[in-house]
């Protein structure tokens, strides 16, 4: 009963702000809701990939580009003025962002490592343990492992974060956040921002054409393409913030439909490179822009806040759980109805566990770190 009372007292944190807008009370509820929807689509994408259902949500990787645009907008609203004025030093901003991101990176990587330790039928257990240790150290510090030849166990994925692959986008999030802080503190003009946007857009377009789609940044061979991908979308988010007062009202429903349609759109045989380029250059920024003036009722706004707060925990911890659940489901040779049940039940479990992690570990731990950083 004590544990239930403790957990219940923490549920108010589901309605607490993450990063606010121009004032402490300003929060874009529409963006919160879409953030949660996009996180759930990512979970769905990884489930259907593991369960070999290729026609479901093949474009869900574009949710990452939505997250990058959203991040640029939200970070600008919360930190641009303090950084530009010098009230918040670059080091202080970096500390805030690391406190925000690293604890859940640690949790997600730890869950993945524990699952790998329990993997059955390992022929060389010592080598497997060594590889897990290497991947774990790189994972919890958000340092990409660019030479996966260091790992000899085939059970770990050949990605820059072999234990918890989605950490790749969090690495780029940290990179672009620090770059933004230095940019804002230097008070570089908006003209230079347009030049950066144009340069990153050209390089990104060339990368998309070369690879045939925009699903890159997590493999060592295509890791460097992640830089123009995040710089473009994050910079678009900054520009949206600069022009936020021009956002039209009563377009949120349309923006929501467009986002869900794009992420869940089945493979229709359209050119992937062209579709991805249009989505990243136009559609994802438009979805964010047209969602700024969303008018939500009290109940929907509450759900939106939950979605906003749980989106990052879901994103950070879901992947190893999806791998483990899908492995069991594959071994059972389930029908498509059984697989659908696994996806639904598995997603509910992941969201529930993410809420517990967020309330019991993430929020209290970040608060303690914030207090310690202020006293340092």
Domain-embedded: residue 38: yes
Domain-embedded: residue 7: no
Domain-embedded: residue 10: no
**Structural domain count of the chain:** 1
Instruction: Report the sign of the C-alpha dihedral through residues 5, 345, 350, 155, in that order.
Output: positive
Domain-embedded: residue 42: yes
**Residue 169 Cα distances to 52, 127, 160, 225, angstroms:** 23, 28, 10, 12
Domain-embedded: residue 4: no
Convert the pLDDT of each residue in 136-145 to its tens digit. Answer: 999 999 999 9
The pLDDT, as a whole number, for residue 335 is: 84
Query: Which residues of the chain fall below pLDDT 70?
Result: 1-26, 375-376
Domain-embedded: residue 16: no
The pLDDT, as a whole number, for residue 23 is: 40
The pLDDT, as a whole number, for residue 141 is: 97
Q: Which domain covers residue 311, as residue numbers?
A: 26-375
The pLDDT, as a whole number, for residue 267 is: 80
Domain-embedded: residue 1: no
The pLDDT, as a whole number, for residue 119 is: 81
The pLDDT, as a whole number, for residue 126 is: 84
């Amino acid at each position: 009963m004590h544990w239930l009372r403790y957990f219940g007292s923490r549920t108010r944190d589901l309605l607490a702000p993450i990063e606010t807008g121009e004032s402490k009370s300003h929060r874009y509820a529409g963006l919160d809701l879409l953030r949660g929807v996009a996180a759930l689509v990512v979970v769905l994408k990884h489930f259907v990939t593991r369960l070999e259902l290729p026609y479901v949500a093949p474009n869900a990787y574009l949710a990452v580009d939505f997250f990058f645009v959203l991040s640029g907008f939200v970070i600008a609203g919360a930190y641009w003025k303090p950084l530009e004025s010098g009230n918040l030093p670059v080091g202080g901003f970096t500390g805030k962002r690391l406190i925000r991101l690293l604890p859940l990176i640690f949790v997600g990587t730890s869950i993945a490592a524990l699952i790998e330790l329990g993997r059955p039928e390992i022929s060389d257990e010592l080598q497997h343990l060594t590889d897990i240790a290497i991947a774990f150290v790189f994972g919890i510090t958000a340092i990409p492992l660019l030479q996966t030849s260091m790992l000899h166990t085939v059970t770990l994925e050949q990605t820059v974060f072999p234990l918890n692959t989605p950490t790749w986008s969090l690495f780029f999030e940290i990179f672009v956040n620090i770059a933004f802080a230095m940019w804002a503190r230097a008070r570089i003009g908006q003209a230079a921002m347009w030049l950066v946007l144009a340069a990153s857009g050209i390089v990104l377009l060339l990368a998309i054409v070369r690879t045939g789609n925009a699903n890159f940044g997590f493999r060592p061979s295509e890791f460097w393409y992640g830089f123009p991908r995040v710089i473009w979308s994050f910079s678009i988010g900054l520009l949206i913030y600069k022009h936020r007062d021009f956002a039209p009202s009563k377009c949120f429903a349309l923006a929501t439909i467009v986002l869900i349609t794009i992420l869940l759109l089945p493979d229709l045989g359209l050119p992937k490179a062209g579709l991805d380029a249009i989505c990243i250059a136009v559609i994802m920024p438009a979805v964010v822009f047209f969602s700024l003036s969303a008018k939500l009722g009290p109940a929907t706004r509450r759900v939106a806040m939950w979605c906003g707060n749980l989106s990052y925990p879901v994103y950070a911890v879901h992947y190893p759980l999806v791998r483990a659940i899908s492995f069991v489901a594959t071994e059972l040779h389930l029908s498509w109805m059984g697989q659908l049940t696994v996806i639904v039940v598995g997603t509910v479990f992941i969201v529930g566990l993410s809420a517990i992690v967020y309330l019991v570990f993430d929020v209290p731990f970040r608060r303690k770190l914030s207090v310690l950083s202020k006293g340092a």
